[in-house]
Amino acid sequence: MPTLETQIRFVKGIGAVRAKDFARLGLITLNDALFDYPFRYDDLSQTLSIASVVPGQKITVRGTISAIENRASNKNRRMMITDAIIEDGTGSIKAVWFHQGFLAKTLKPGTVVSLSGKVDDRYGLSLVNPVYEVIGKQMGVKHTGRIVPVYRLGGALTQKTRRLAVDAAIKSINEVVEWLPQEILHRENFVGLHEALTQMHFPESMDTQATAVRRLKYNEFFLHQLLHAKARRELKRQKASVIPFTEQVVKDTVATLPFELTNAQRKATWAIIKDMGRDEPMNRLLEGDVGTGKTAVAAVAAINAAASSWQTAMLAPTEILAGQHAETLQKMFGDKLVIAVFTRTKRKVGGKEVTKKQMLDALANGKIDFVVGTHALLSSDVLFNRLGFIVVDEQHRFGVKQRKALKDREGDVDGIPHLLSMTATPIPRSLALVLYGDLDRSILDEYPAGRKRIETHLVLQKHEKPAYERMRTEMDAGRQVFVVCPLIEESDALGVNSVNEIYAIFKKGPFKDYKLGMLHGKLKTQEKDEIMGQFSKGEIDMVISTTVVEVGVDIPNATVMFIEGAERFGLAQLHQLRGRVGRSDMQSYCFLHPSGDLLPLSRSRLNAVVASQNGFDLADKDLELRGPGNIFGTDQSGFEQFQLGTYADRDLISVAKDDAKTILDTDVDLNQWPELRDRVHEYIDEIHFE
């Protein structure tokens, strides 16, 4: 008898070859198949008698095959057509399949079938390429005559094969433990987990599917809120490194900056320094649009820490971004701090390359004040002398893993480090309190003096000429251009196709006289670094990239951002991409180029970006316009990517937050709910807190 841990290859009708296609989707066991939900449904539930069908209807009929044969097409002798006649006692209808000659052997006369498809009457009443299902002794159907789930596919997988695996998983659904406390199930009127999973895959109606989705969304939000609140409470029970305010050092630092801090930067810096002077661990989120100076705020706080011999570690999501931060800090503060960069491929101290051993020794001996790195810093052989401050860029998790993984030579005798998370993704005001209400937040909502407003234009199809002229004018003047392409479809996960296409069009056409570079997910780290290095030095006029590759390097000389397929991005994403230019006192431009005709909603969204340069207002607008869509896009690093839930489900998030608080107020260790406690531990393993 299969269990949920049974591998999909052992399911009857699937086998080892098809299992490889499942594996490409990340699905190995029946449990994996059970928790990989349909992305839409086809309503094939209208079952009619053959006598009552009407051309143009999408229907299901049940009947017996009275005749079936293969024949060659009159127009193309190589095309195999299978014709069948189906009768149900009220009449008969023809079924026609193309290129499926095997059906004549599979569906023999006398076989009772259920067929779903669109009724055609060009050659007499017929169903063209209908979905078919043999009706055995049991009358239940999975592929016809009902609301049918549609799943993502890969390789040679079919929807029937996907449903076969899910059907096998649902037979073992009793192994799934109901972990939600009974009081919540009753209070919120949720269906049980078994019922929710069954109705999610094979709903009896769209109402039962909606009920299932509500329960499964709540699961995601409740775990998210429970862990946020639990981590926060546990943090408050711990002692932190007390880092005093060294007033003169901070004043001297601010006075020698090549720019004047904005009021928002001053307020944020003071809030952080005050937090770090307490023995309670800081857990602060610093929000600010691209270009509002988050790094400078973190650096001033790090200089204050270094004045008392405390070290700072900054975690960046990519090697490119880590290198950029280290270079910026070296230029601005290299005379005040010993700054290092430590990634898988880069190791520098004070701008000079070192060996891994030299780097590890310098960290452990306290010779490095501020190290910027990727997850290489979380390796077990990395030890600090006195780590007091952790800065995490573009991450919104709880910092639990980072705090534990970044080890101090003395253990925790000095207390645990303070944590500052930074993000350029604006969180809508209406969501911030619900999602992160218990997190201290500082918002940078001012730009440095001298920055010009970025001119933003909607460039419709066949009206590109003025935009292209502006791009050429800027490059002729020695300035540079970013072109960002979307991911076209799920199978193009690395964005190679779209980048190659735009590169080819631009290289042959409007920009054939300029030096172009390409960035996409298939390039090796070294290749990406070379391209971005050339772009930084001005050796490339235009870089064409996907958002999968971090294009956040600081190129003050770039004055144009051209966004291809702009309607495919969330407003927050568009705003962040726009923020890659306008980073100097030169006038900059952003062109939003949709990939086709715009629907009214898409036009409204793009016009909102044209009209507003405030990221928080745009995030609110996106929430209002897109409703349940994921306003942060699919590749915003840092935000928890819920499988079903979205940030538009504010009411459900709010309920989950209240329920999490009630549960933890009753029993913070969850011993009263052992199933919930176990699920929380599993969840921690699943998300890794990275």
Q: What is the pLDDT of residues 188-225, one digit of tens each?
A: 999 999 999 999 999 999 999 999 999 999 999 999 88
**pLDDT for res 452:** 83
Alpha helices in 277-373 (DSSP H): 294-306, 319-333, 356-364
What is the residue type of 363?
A: L
Residues 381-393 have pLDDT tens digits of 899 999 999 998 8
Q: Does 455-626 match 247-444 at the fold level?
A: yes
405 vs 354, more confident: 354
Residue 170's Cβ-side half-sphere holds a number of Cα atoms within 13 Å equal to 19
**pLDDT for res 327:** 87
**Residue 310's pLDDT band (cuts 50, 70, 90):** very high
* 251: its two tokens: 């004043």
How far apart CA 415 and CA 408 sit, in angstroms, is 10
Residue for token digits 């016009």? 607
**pLDDT for res 434:** 67
Encode burial over 120-144: b for 16+ CB neighbours within 10 A, e otherwise. Answer: beeeebbbeebbbbebeeeeebbbb
**pLDDT for res 689:** 41
* 143: its two tokens: 């592929």
Most confidently modeled range among 36-50, 305-319, 526-540: 305-319
User: Which CATH number applies to 1-42+151-176: 1.10.8, 1.10.150, 3.30.2250, 1.10.10?
Assistant: 1.10.150
How high is the mean pLDDT of the chain? 85
Does pLDDT of 644 surpass 70?
yes
**pLDDT for res 472:** 96
Q: How far is CA 259 from CA 82, 262, 332, 419, in A?
A: 76, 9, 10, 26
What phi and psi values does residue 613 have, to the nearest 5 degrees?
-115, 15
**pLDDT for res 378:** 84
Average pLDDT over residues 510-524: 88
**Pairing of the two strands 283-288 and 58-72:** unpaired
302 vs 585, more confident: 302
43 vs 420, more confident: 420
Average pLDDT over residues 224-251: 88
Q: What DSSP character marks residue 616?
A: H
Give Cα 280 distance to the centre of its chain.
32
Does pLDDT of 400 surpass 80?
no
Comparing CA positions, the residue from 419, 551, 387, 394 lying closest to residue 484 is 551
**Pairing of the two strands 387-393 and 418-423:** parallel
Q: What DSSP character marks residue 203?
A: -
Lowest mean pLDDT among 111-115, 346-350, 524-528, 574-578: 524-528
Q: Is the dihedral of CA 264, 266, 272, 278 positive or negative?
A: negative
Q: Which residues contact 486 (CB under 8 A, 6 or more apart)?
A: 495, 498, 546, 547, 564, 565, 568, 569, 595
Encode burial over 87-113: b for 16+ CB neighbours within 10 A, e otherwise. Answer: ebeeebbbbbbeebeebbeebeeebeb
Full-model pTM:
0.68
**Residue 477's pLDDT band (cuts 50, 70, 90):** very high
Residues 482-503 have pLDDT tens digits of 999 887 544 454 455 588 889 9
Q: Which fold has domain 455-626?
A: Rossmann fold (3.40.50)
Residues 55-99 have pLDDT tens digits of 888 888 889 999 999 998 877 878 888 999 999 889 889 999 888
Just give the CATH number of 247-444. Answer: 3.40.50.300
Average pLDDT over residues 453-472: 94
Ranges of each domain in the chain: 1-42+151-176, 46-145, 178-237+670-690, 247-444, 455-626
Q: Which is the CATH superfamily of the domain at 46-145?
A: Nucleic acid-binding proteins (2.40.50.140)
Does pLDDT of 136 surpass 70?
no
**Residue 401's pLDDT band (cuts 50, 70, 90):** low
Q: Is the dihedral of CA 150, 153, 156, 161 positive or negative?
A: negative
* 578: its two tokens: 């726009």
Average pLDDT over residues 134-141: 66
Residues 613-628 have pLDDT tens digits of 877 778 777 766 654 3
**pLDDT for res 638:** 37
**pLDDT for res 313:** 94
**pLDDT for res 354:** 94
How far apart CA 690 and CA 688 sit, in angstroms, is 5
**pLDDT for res 580:** 85
What phi and psi values does residue 322 have, to the nearest 5 degrees?
-60, -45
Comparing CA positions, the residue from 424, 431, 177, 411 lying closest to residue 316 is 424
Element spanning 388, H or E? strand 387-393
**Residue 431's pLDDT band (cuts 50, 70, 90):** low
**Residue 429's pLDDT band (cuts 50, 70, 90):** low
**pLDDT for res 519:** 85
**pLDDT for res 403:** 63
* 4: its two tokens: 């949920």
Give Cα 489 distance to the centre of its chain.
14
Does pLDDT of 632 surpass 60?
no
